[in-house]
Amino acid sequence: MKNILIYGANGYSGRLILEEALKHDLKPILAGRNADAIEGLSKRHDLEHRVFSLDSVSEVSQQLKDVAVVIHCAGPFSATAENMMRACIDSGTHYTDITGEISVFELGWTFNQDAEKAGVVVCPGVGFDVIPTDCVAVKLKNKMPDAIELSLGFDSRSGFSPGTAKTSVEGLANGGAVRLDGEITRVKLAHKTRNIDFGGGEKLSMTIPWGDVSTAYRSTGIPNISVYIPSSPKQVSRLKKLNWVRPLLGLGFVQNFMKNKIEKSVKGPNAQKRSELVTYVWGEVRNAEGQTESLRIKVANGYDVTATGAIAVARYLLTETTDKGYKTPAMLMGDVLVDGLPGSEYLAI
């Protein structure tokens, strides 16, 4: 029987996804580039493992011939996703990943026709990036079909894993991003601010280049999209000042310095910390007449959502699904996907 393959299974999120898979009596194939880490993990859980890089599409495709679904966890996805997507299409394997990078969602969309011809699904962002916000976006579109503007946001106090922190550092030089009149537009860091009540009172919030700038457009067709997170006035001021030196943040030695600091100091939150920290997700749509609709939902810690979400999507794709082509999570499984994840609860407006 065809199986799930978790690539990057030895990383922080990869291990959480493995734990979730085992809860559902799945026996995923563990894969990655680090032979010692992958072999050790496979022995610990008595699972099949494969060690390969993503340098050659044809070699990766051979590794996936007997695989039904890939859960790709090895970022930065801007550097690793394309070859894995191509290999999945070549081998007839459904592709999923846990990215939050706008460029990767846009890349996935370019493979829509190829994936349709191959009869496979390409679905980036099957974790916290972007299941909750994607589902909220679709729910709001259904409440207001004539919406022309969508604002999304989330309030999460959970710490970063090393991989997430490094990806954030890589994106600093690119600044922010919003969607304006259907087009992704690069803007300054902390481009817009507003006060938002995510579920625990109003907080100053600023725009960030979150994946929904890409995905929510595919899911809803709404042409103007911004995503917000809470921030202090000091943080907003600091980011606005960084705009003056933003090109320097992309230089190799600056990136290496920041990533080395992350390697030494950043650890993903432990199970107890994750259980203590929930996430509040908010969304608002507006039509041309200025009418609005909003929605709030509380979900589990972002890393737990990533684990449960990735496995929920993989289990769905293991069924005899007729889905094919590029999908966002809500396009694939509907806006009820988030409802079925542990810890999800709607909040009064």
Lowest mean pLDDT, pick from 50-59, 167-176, 178-187, 200-209: 167-176
Q: Quote the pLDDT of residue 263.
A: 65
Looking at 302, 317, 333, which one is the last position of a domain? Answer: 302
Residue 300 in contact with residue 329, Cβ under 8 Å? no
Number of structural domains (the chain) is 2
pLDDT band at 24 (very low <50, low <70, confident <90, very high): very high
Do 141 and 185 lie in one domain? The reply is yes
**Rounded mean pLDDT of 284-298?**
97
Three-state secondary structure call for residue 337: coil
pLDDT band at 158 (very low <50, low <70, confident <90, very high): low
Do 148 and 293 lie in one domain? The reply is yes
Do 117 and 256 lie in one domain? The reply is no
How far is the CA of 203 from the CAs of 134, 154, 225, in angstroms? 22, 11, 20
β-pair partners for 3:
67
Range of the domain at 142: 131-302
- What tens digit of pLDDT does each residue of 71-87 get? 999 988 999 999 999 99
- What tens digit of pLDDT does each residue of 88-125 get? 999 999 999 999 999 999 999 999 999 999 999 999 99
- The CATH number of residue 278's host domain is 3.30.360.10
Do 113 and 139 lie in one domain? The reply is no
Do 208 and 275 lie in one domain? The reply is yes
How far is the CA of 13 from the CAs of 10, 29, 40, 130, 302, in angstroms? 8, 16, 17, 15, 10
Lowest mean pLDDT, pick from 1-15, 42-56, 148-162, 179-193: 148-162
Do 85 and 215 lie in one domain? The reply is no
Do 9 and 31 lie in one domain? The reply is yes
Do 183 and 297 lie in one domain? The reply is yes
Cβ burial, residue 51 (10 Å; 0-12/13-18/19+): middle
Q: Quote the pLDDT of residue 172.
A: 63
Task: Compute the C-alpha angle 111/112/116, nearest 5°.
Answer: 115
**Rounded mean pLDDT of 122-146?**
96
Do 155 and 27 lie in one domain? The reply is no
Q: Quote the pLDDT of residue 165.
A: 54
Q: Quote the pLDDT of residue 321.
A: 79
Q: Quote the pLDDT of residue 159.
A: 55
How large a percentage of the chain has pLDDT more than 70? 89
**Rounded mean pLDDT of 186-211?**
92
Considering only residues 60 and 265, tell me which one the structure prediction assigns the higher pLDDT. Answer: 60
How large a percentage of the chain has pLDDT more than 90? 73
**Rounded mean pLDDT of 320-338?**
95
**Rounded mean pLDDT of 147-151?**
98
- The CATH number of residue 72's host domain is 3.40.50.720
H/E element, 193: strand 193-197
pLDDT band at 166 (very low <50, low <70, confident <90, very high): low
Q: Quote the pLDDT of residue 291.
A: 98
Looking at 265, 284, 302, which one is the last position of a domain? Answer: 302
Instruction: Go through 79-89 and write b for each residue having 16 or more CB atoms within 10 A of its CB, e for each that does not.
Output: ebbbbbbbbbb
Do 115 and 135 lie in one domain? The reply is no
Do 262 and 249 lie in one domain? The reply is yes
Count of C-beta atoms within a 10 Å radius of residue 267: 12
Do 145 and 27 lie in one domain? The reply is no
- What tens digit of pLDDT does each residue of 238-286 get? 888 887 777 766 667 666 766 676 566 656 677 777 777 889 999 999 9
Backbone angles phi, psi at 269, to 5 degrees: -65, 145
